[in-house]
Amino acid sequence: MNIYLVRHGEAAQKWWRSDDPDLSALGRDQATQAAETLLPVVRKYQTLRLVSSPLLRARETAAPLSDALGIGVEVDEAFREIPSPVPVRERRRWLGEFMHQHWSEQPEEVLQWHQSLFRSLLATRQPTVVFTHFVVVNAVVGEITDSTKTTCCLPANASITHIQLTGDTLRLVALGEQLQTTVL
């Protein structure tokens, strides 16, 4: 079964400045482009599920594909951004440190988030497009490729990473477009 992970389009504000920013004008264009890229791929499915993180930038990225297909978007907490153990003003520093760590170094709250993400993915029963975040894509790709690092790829905004689920095994089919610069 095919699953497509779409990183949200560019946010109007950085994650360390706002809890739930919307998309910038560029982000809205990126969301439209992602929908245009996915449409010919997903139209072939008799059933298709659209799922989004509850965060606004992910839901807004889902909107063009949802509108084009006439399919509603389910919100699933499992695909939200990684929980931050620090206040908004300290997130940039924390994220910079996190991106150079390993999953084994993470606090229980983060490990529970990681487990919830995989429970939701493994429960998928039909072709699905998931609108989500940078760290979610990294967690999934890292798990599939046996990387213990928290950052194993640099998914660009509105990039589409294709994975397949067979039984309880995930396989990376294609990594989405990667950033050419740092996230921070």
Classified by CATH at the fold level, domain 2-174 comes out as Rossmann fold (3.40.50)
Tokens of 78: 């499992």
* Residue pLDDT tens, the chain, 184 long: 999 999 999 999 876 567 789 999 999 999 999 999 999 999 999 999 999 999 999 999 999 999 999 999 999 999 999 998 888 888 889 989 999 999 999 999 999 999 999 999 999 999 999 999 999 999 999 999 999 999 999 999 999 999 999 999 999 999 999 998 655 5
Q: What is the rounded distance in angstroms from the CA atom of residue 32 to the CA atom of residue 24?
A: 13
Angstrom CA distances, 175 to 6, 22, 159, stand at 11, 25, 9
The per-residue DSSP string of 67-136 comes to HHHT--EEE-GGGSPPPPSS-GGGHHHHHHHHTTSBGGGS-HHHHHHHHHHHHHHHT--S-EEEEE-HHH
How many CA atoms within 13 Å lie on the side-chain side of 52? 22
Predicted confidence at residue 149, as pLDDT, reads 97
Res 87: pLDDT: 85
